[in-house]
Chains A and B, each alone.
Chain A
Amino acid sequence: MADVEIRNVYKSYGDTQVIHGVSVFIRDGEFVVIVGPSGCGKSTLLRMIAGLEAITSGDIAIDGRVVNEVEPKDRDIAMVFQNYALYPHMTVAQNMSFGLRLRRLSKREVADRLRRAAEILQLSELMDRKPRQLSGGQRQRVAMGRAIVRDPAAFLFDEPLSNLDAKLRVQMRLEIKKLHRELGATSIYVTHDQVEAMTMADRLIVMNAGIAEQVGAPLDIYECPASAYVAGFIGSPAMNFLACEVTGDGRAVHLNGSGELALNGNGATAGGGVATAGIRPEHIAVCGGEDADLHVTATMVEPLGADTLVHGALAHDGAAAGPELTIRLPGIVRIQAGEQLPLRIDRDRIHLFDAERGTRIN
Chain B
Amino acid sequence: MIKRVTFASKSLPYLLLGPQLLILAVFFFWPAGKAIYESFFLSDPFGATQIFVGLENFQMLLVSPEYYDSILVTLVFSGLTTLAALLSGFVMAVFADRAIRGVLVFKSALIWPYAVAPAVAGALWIFLFHPTFGSVAGLLIALGVDWDPLLNGAHAMTLVVVAAAWKQISYNFVFFLAGLQAIPKSLIEAAAIDGAGPGKRLWYVVIPLLSPTTFFLIVINIVYAFFDTFGIIHAVTGGGPAGATNTLVFKVYTDGFENQDLGASSAQSVILMFIVIALTVLQFRYIERRVSYA
Contact = CB atoms under 8 A, between A and B. Distances in A.
Interface string A92-119: 0000001100110000000000000000
Q: Which bucket holds chain A's interface residue count?
A: 20 to 34
26 contacts: A51-B192, A71-B197, A72-B192, A73-B193, A73-B194, A79-B189, A81-B189, A81-B190, A82-B186, A83-B184, A85-B186, A85-B187, A85-B189, A85-B190, A87-B187, A87-B191, A87-B205, A88-B294, A89-B209, A89-B292, A98-B194, A98-B196, A98-B204, A102-B196, A146-B190, A150-B194
Given A73-B195, A98-B194, A102-B194, A52 B205 contact: no
Which 7 pairs of residues, A with B, have the shortest CB-CB distance?
A88-B294, A99-B194, A85-B190, A85-B186, A102-B195, A73-B195, A89-B292
A79 B205 contact: no
Contacts, number: 64
Nearest to B183: A88
Interface of B: 184, 186-187, 189-197, 200, 204-205, 208-209, 211, 292, 294
A72 B200 CA distance: 14
A98 B191 contact: yes
A132 interface: yes
A25 B3 CA distance: 57
B165 to A, nearest CB: 28
Contacts of B209: 88-89
A79 B186 CA distance: 10
B294 A72 contact: no
A99 B204 CA distance: 11
A88 B191 CA distance: 12
A73 B196 contact: yes
Contacts of B208: 89
A82 B190 CA distance: 11
A323 B197 CA distance: 58
Contact of B200 (A79, A87, A102, A146): A102
A77 B193 contact: yes
A78 B195 contact: no
A186 to B, nearest CB: 16
Contacts of B194: 73, 98-99, 102, 146, 150
A79 B189 CA distance: 9
A50 interface: yes
A341 to B, nearest CB: 50
A74 to B, nearest CB: 8
Contacts of B184: 83, 85
B164 to A, nearest CB: 32
Contacts of B186: 81-83, 85
Contacts of A150: 194
Nearest to A47: B189
B101 to A, nearest CB: 12
B287 to A, nearest CB: 15
Nearest to A88: B294
A146 B189 CA distance: 14
A158 to B, nearest CB: 9
Given A52-B189, A77-B193, 4 more contacts: A51-B193, A82-B186, A89-B292, A98-B194
Contacts of A85: 184, 186-187, 189-190
A154 B205 CA distance: 24
A73 B205 CA distance: 16
Contacts of A77: 193
Contacts of B192: 51-52, 71-73
Contact of B193 (A50, A83, A87, A132): A50
A81 B190 CA distance: 8
A79 B204 contact: no
B294 A132 contact: yes
A86 B204 CA distance: 13
A79 B200 CA distance: 19
Contacts of B187: 85, 87
Nearest to B211: A89
Interface string A137-150: 00000000010001
